[in-house]
Amino acid sequence: MEKTDEIRGAEGIVIHNGNIVLGMQKPKRWYKLESGETITMIKTLGGEIEKEDEGDSKKALIREVIEEVNGIGREDIRVSNKPIFTKRIRLADINPFEKKSNLNMNADFYLLQILKQEVLQPNDLPALIEIPLSRFIKMEFNSQGKMRNIQDYISQNTSIDLPDYYRFMIPEEVHRFFREIRKDREDIER
């Protein structure tokens, strides 16, 4: 039987100025296609729970966001008290380039709002992408199509050469969360 690597983590469904904020994987995690072109994954913000987080997923998320977004402090963010949902993520299931991976993360997903109005700049990531929620809800994440148009959402001050293509690595539950909020809001307005 194959050994699986299990980690605990925290991910943020990050909102800023009415947009969902996603992050691009670091260049060392970019993939080369047979054609020589590069592709990267776009995901929610967050990561593994570290020792300094004392086993607290909320602390881990706050630390990760402060590390990943330049100029953001604890006073600039508001986080839900409890996770919205917890999900066991198998990297092999959501990343087509890691089909042989044995990495599993049990991640608590929180809703996190960045209160600063200013344009967000990446710190620990090559780029941050802000997508209006109305457009995010309509996106098809299982599409095999090219995603060149996503460059419209990549932070203006990115100083690196960006890859040729992007794929989303976002659990369906994140997408569903916003669709349900929208449906509830529409039901209330009727």
- Convert the pLDDT of each residue in 10-36 to its tens digit: 999 999 999 999 998 888 889 998 899
Token readout for 2 is: 């194959």
Q: What is the pTM of this model?
A: 0.84
In this predicted structure, what is the pLDDT of residue 45?
A: 96
Altogether, the residues listed in the chain come to a count of: 190
**Could you give the domains of the chain?**
5-189 (3.90.79.10)
Picking from 94, 47, 39, 49, the residue whose alpha carbon sits closest to that of residue 69 is 47
What mean pLDDT is reported for the chain? Answer: 84
